[in-house]
Amino acid sequence: MSTLDKLTKNLGNSGVDTDAVRFSDLDMASASPLQVVNLVGREIVRGKFAPGSRLPNEATMRERYSVSRTALREAYSKLAAKGLIKARPKIGTHVRPQSDWNMLDPEVLTWHLQTMPTDTMAKDLFALRRMVEPPAAALAAKMRSDESLAAIASAYNDMKACSEGESDLIDADFRFHVAILTATENHFIGAFSALIQAAMLSTFRLSWRGAAQVQYARIIQHETVLDAIRDQKPGLARERMETLLDDSIRDVLGALSNDAKT
């Protein structure tokens, strides 16, 4: 099963409807705290409960979601840990400012992917990736071992072999970028992809769709990054990764523009 398929399966298992949340679709008499977390979290992210606002009282929220007091309080505890809400004695539970939200939390990222305009999310993500991945490619060129280089090359070879299958191509592309981060031998950089996996896979799907007419050229661009890392040329690796990311965001925006016309 591909990374993309696993992600989709996991989201489904978590109770998240990736198209729209319909309360009637859930057996609310036995709704779990996780389901309530997803429902309330998504409503906060899409602005139903705005930052700074106070959530309805406990009785109202229990009736709204048909949940027990225990399930609601456990859900609130999880949302508080993600930085979305804060409970104050005798005042109530308020939505925290968006700057306090843990945007790298996988569930918070997923809610944004489901509710934010895709072009806004893509631009924000690529700005972050451009800050991290080009320097990481340069560091990988310095630090790479034979083993980590083989992992990058293996992912690239899979990209070439899977060029006709979108899901497999996206999975191989993701593994290519993860392998470069891992090759830095820096645990914090290596963990970056795991934090934003959902967002990366979503934009990979769009970028390859937008690059349909130049797919071979995009695949070769990945090879140029691999070559620079193999040859241990940090400056060239950084430059080629920057070019790859800049072209990829243009592909994403092109795909979104085409979608808007259809």
Residue 195: predicted pLDDT: 77
Q: Which two tokens stand for residue 16?
A: 């998240």
Q: Which two tokens stand for residue 52?
A: 């700074």
Burial of 99 (0-12, 13-18, 19+ CB in 10 A): exposed
Where exactly are the structural domains of the chain? 15-100, 117-261
Largest distance between two CA atoms of the chain: 64
- pTM of the shown model: 0.73
Nearest of 119, 139, 124 to residue 241 by alpha carbon: 139
Which CATH number applies to 117-261? 1.20.120.530
Give the bridge partners for 86, in sequence order. 94
DSSP for 226-244? HHHHHTT-HHHHHHHHHHH
Q: State which residues of the chain have pLDDT below 50.
A: 2-29
Cα 145 from chain centre: 28
How far apart CA 262 and CA 259 sit, in angstroms, is 5
Residue 165: predicted pLDDT: 66
- Report which residue type is found at 41: G
Residue 90: predicted pLDDT: 83
Residue 16: predicted pLDDT: 42
> Is domain 15-100 annotated with CATH 1.10.10.10?
yes
Residue 254: predicted pLDDT: 86
The pLDDT tens digits of the residues spanning 196-240 come to: 787 788 788 888 887 777 788 999 999 999 999 999 999 999 999
Residue 156: predicted pLDDT: 97
Residue 207: predicted pLDDT: 85
Distances (CA, A) of 114 to 12, 19, 129, 210: 13, 7, 20, 20
